[in-house]
Chains A and B, each alone.
Chain A
Amino acid sequence: MNTESIPESSLSLEALKKGDRHELARMVDLYSDKIYRLALKFTNNPQDAEDVLQETFLKAMRALPEFEGRSSLSTWLYRIAVNESLMLLRKQKPDLALDTPAEEEDSEEGGSSNGLILADWCCLPEEELLSEESRRFLDQAIQQLPATLRSVFILRDIEGMSIRETADLLGLTETNVKTRLLRARLFLRQQLSRYFGERLKEWEQK
């Protein structure tokens, strides 16, 4: 999803800032699907995602009169939603490491000297890669990422934002986004390689 693809021109910013309730309701309907889905990715929990959704619009409605339009309305709403998600995660897991993914323990066979798992699972059929079970694994694997890496990965690789948009939304430099993206991607590749490496063995035995 690209924030630019959202038809926000159909909303009157002036009416929103004045607190026009009909226009506010339209704004909620326009963005709530996307914000809920984003929150679900962050939290992997429908109840938490709903809390984030509600808090996002409550805060937005309170802050709208002050909204200066320096970023687009969608980016602004996204930023609130990301902050709400991160705050909720921090509250739930105050000890959540903010910077480093859990150290990899990869002395297993199939690992190279630097710990990378080298199973070549790309050839697995799509129905295996995209099965419901695999999807659940993919969603869980994101949750293993520390929040700072998770936000970058979700916005850039799942939502499809550019490096620049991601940096803008998270208040990071582009270099910082790239560094975190690299770490997040390598971490997830490793998780998926462990998982699909096993599937590959089973599949080859069939």
Chain B
Amino acid sequence: MNEHLDCQKLLSSISDFVDGELSPDLCQQIEQHLNECENCRIVINTLRKTIDLYHQQPPSESLPQEIRQRLFHRLHLDEFLNHDRG
């Protein structure tokens, strides 16, 4: 009993699908649909890539020194500015 999974339905499950949170049954239906529908393949691939690009952040820099200074000043913690961090 293979219900046809249309593109609109795929769209509503796409987020759970890329997170691997769908039931194996629904997953299989989607994968089957993807074999047949190029448009949906593009949508899935570009969605994955979008998430991936946002996840790849440049290495996090530590807080600029002057921002740290102003923060400590605002919090009345100036005397601890020169203590070792961490």
Contact = CB atoms under 8 A, between A and B. Distances in A.
A28 B71 contact: yes
Interface string A149-193: 000010001101001000000000000001001100110110011
The prevalent SS among residues of A at the interface is helix
A98 interface: no
Interface stretch (A54-62, A88-96, A101-109): A54-62
A115 B75 CA distance: 50
A116 B75 contact: no
B77 to A, nearest CB: 5
Contacts of A160: 55
Q: What interface size band does chain A fall in? A: 35 or more
Contact of A29 (B8, B11, B14, B85): B85
Tell me what chain B mostly uses at the interface: helix, strand, loop, or mixed: helix
A193 B46 contact: yes
A76 interface: no
B50 A21 contact: no
A53 B42 CA distance: 40
A32 B80 CA distance: 14
B51 A28 contact: no
A114 B7 contact: yes
B2 interface: no
B71 A33 contact: no
Contacts, number: 111
Contacts of A188: 50, 54
B13 to A, nearest CB: 9
B12 to A, nearest CB: 7
A185 B80 contact: no
Interface string B26-41: 0000000000000100
Interface string B1-16: 0000001100110111
Given A22-B80, A138-B54, A182-B12, A53 B45 contact: no
A130 B46 contact: no
Contacts of B71: 28, 32, 50, 53-54, 57
Given A116-B43, A130-B56, A53 B7 contact: no
A129 B53 contact: yes
Interface string A56-95: 0110010000000000000000000000000000000000
A50 B86 contact: no
Contacts of A189: 43, 46-47, 50
Given A114-B11, A189-B43, 11 more contacts: A25-B83, A29-B85, A29-B86, A54-B70, A122-B46, A122-B49, A130-B56, A160-B55, A185-B47, A185-B50, A192-B50
Interface of B: 7-8, 11-12, 14-16, 19, 21, 39, 42-43, 45-47, 49-51, 53-58, 60-63, 67-68, 70-72, 74-75, 77, 80, 83, 85-86
